[in-house]
Amino acid sequence: DAGITQSPRHKVTETGTPVTLRCHQTENHRYMYWYRQDPGHGLRLIHYSYGVKDTDKGEVSDGYSVSRSKTEDFLLTLESATSSQTSVYFCAISAGGLDEQFFGPGTRLTVL
Amino acid sequence: QKEVEQDPGPLSVPEGAIVSLNCTYSNSAFQYFMWYRQYSRKGPELLMYTYSSGNKEDGRFTAQVDKSSKYISLFIRDSQPSDSATYLCAMSRPNYGGSQGNLIFGKGTKLSVKP
């Protein structure tokens, strides 16, 4: 998985609780992305980062925030989880904005 | 109309068959086209990355882009049971969403190759 780890790999939580997912890379790539994957919708971009402390919204950013204080780490936070955020979350990295994106193994999140 | 359309299948073929997977898109600004393979409960892995119209070959895989028809294809020759996976097309354009390179994915086609 191109030096990308995600933690936790599985999480079950309750509605209304905060959740933070972590993506860690060892490739020193500039760009990092968070996607969610749902049946019938495919992969959709939540947020992305184009450098330390530089982030922007993707297609489905409502209810999510991100932070990137170091090149290697990109955090995705659900401030107050809802059942609609039950999904598989993938982190991806790329060296440049138009370069290939490499994906992590995913985090399976269930919000009860 | 969705920006990227991909038939979800499932598609089942016998071992050794030629497989054709396709996506259509509506936005002529897309310039970069990718195919990813995703095994069950794994992250997508990049198979092919093309920029221009025409064909690109890599082993048993051939990616084809027809920008005039807004149509891309992935051909798999001599398909193997290990090719059983979901295949995702993806595309991007410069300055999409305020930054370069953000990908738009098709929903994926699930392929099963039977021994």
B21-72 residue pLDDT tens:
999 999 888 888 999 999 999 999 999 988 878 899 999 999 999 999 999 9
d(CA B26, CA A103) in angstroms, rounded, equals 26
Strand partners, A90: A35
Check CB contact under 8 Å for A94 and B105.
Answer: no
Whether residue A31 and residue B103 make contact (CB cut-off 8 A), yes or no, is no
A56 to B98: CB separation less than 8 angstroms, yes or no: yes
Residues of chain B with Cβ-Cβ distance to A43 below 8 Å are 44, 88, 90, 103, 105
Phi, psi dihedral angles at B60 (to 5 degrees): -80, -5
Contact B43 A56 (CB under 8 A): no
Residue A41 sits at the chain B interface (C-beta within 8 Å) = yes
**Chain A neighbors of B100, CB-CB under 8 A:** 96-98
Q: What would the mean pLDDT of A77-89 be, rounded to a whole number?
A: 97
> Nearest chain B Cα to A49, which residue?
B99
pLDDT tens-digit profile of B1-15? 678 999 888 999 999
In this predicted structure, the answer to whether residue B98 has a pLDDT above a threshold of 50 is no
pLDDT band for position B94 (50/70/90)? low
Q: Which helix (H) or strand (E) holds B94?
A: none
Q: Is the pLDDT of residue B82 over 90?
A: yes
Nearest CA in chain B to A47: B102
- Quick check: A9 and A24 in contact, CB under 8 A? no
The pLDDT, as a whole number, for residue A22 is 98
**Contact state of B42 with A106 under an 8 Å Cβ cutoff:** yes
Instruction: Look up residue A90 and give its amino acid.
Output: F
Identify the pLDDT of residue A108.
97
